[in-house]
Amino acid sequence: MSDLAYRFSRQDLLTQALTHRSAGAPHNERLEFLGDALVNLLIAEALYQHWPQADEGALTRARAELVRESALAPIARQLDLGAKLILGPGEMKSGGHRRDSILADALEALVAAIYLDAGFETCRAVVLPWFQSAMEALPPPHKVGKDAKTRLQEWLQGKQKPLPVYALLSESGDDHAKTFRITCTLQQPVLVTEGEGGSRRAAEQMAAEAALQALGAS
């Protein structure tokens, strides 16, 4: 498995990490338990060093962004874990090797297997590069994990200004493909922005983002 940039001394650990419970024992659930804790620790340590001025809330939100299932599964795909998974007949037939949950679990199990095979320092050196691009793509600490409406509200509250008012401007399109236009109105400073999206919530977020940009607070 050269694409891991790591060669196992104990091949049984690698095999177990890639074995889904549908294929029988020993499967990867115990390794997944350990790997989940290791990934959280590695990412927490990396963020602590990467953002020396960030508070606990920002660090917690950033870690949650990086270790959630939808973030781990793409890393597993980059490592081509899907093609290497050992699945039972039912999971193979239903496309289990493409499922985010199975891929994310296998990635965590793999982290634990590397740790048990070679120790913490090697595990850190092998695993952290997998997350490098995702870490670099994070927004600034004050934005991470927060949507535009939340950021706009916090900006206004911080300046003791009235909260924005969102209103439906128009609704068009067929039921299965509607388009909503929303206004975001501020009293202080006086500002009206618009947003468009496939749902009211999406349109409100776009309107809030436009307000943040107009305020120079994005």
Q: What tokens were used for 10?
A: 């104990």
For the question of residue 108 being annotated catalytic, the response is yes
* Active-site pick, 3, 12, 29, 36: 36
For the question of residue 36 being annotated catalytic, the response is yes
* Active-site pick, 65, 91, 108, 204: 108
Determine which helix (DSSP H) or strand (DSSP E) holds 196, and give its type and residue range.
Answer: strand 191-197
209 marked ligand binding residue: no
Contacts of residues 186-192 at CB distance under 8 Å and 24 or more positions apart, as own/partner, are 186/156, 186/161, 186/162, 186/211, 187/161, 187/162, 188/161, 188/162, 189/161, 189/215, 191/215
Q: How far is CA 90 from CA 23, 29, 109, 211, in A?
A: 9, 18, 21, 50
Provide Rg for the chain, Cα atoms.
22
32 marked ligand binding residue: yes
Residue 109 to residue 98: CA distance in whole angstroms = 17
105 marked ligand binding residue: yes
Half-sphere exposure of 184 (CA within 13 A, CB side): 28
Please give the annotated binding residues, written as ranges.
32, 105, 108
Please give the annotated binding residues for Mg(2+), written as ranges.
32, 105, 108
Which residues are designated catalytic?
36, 108
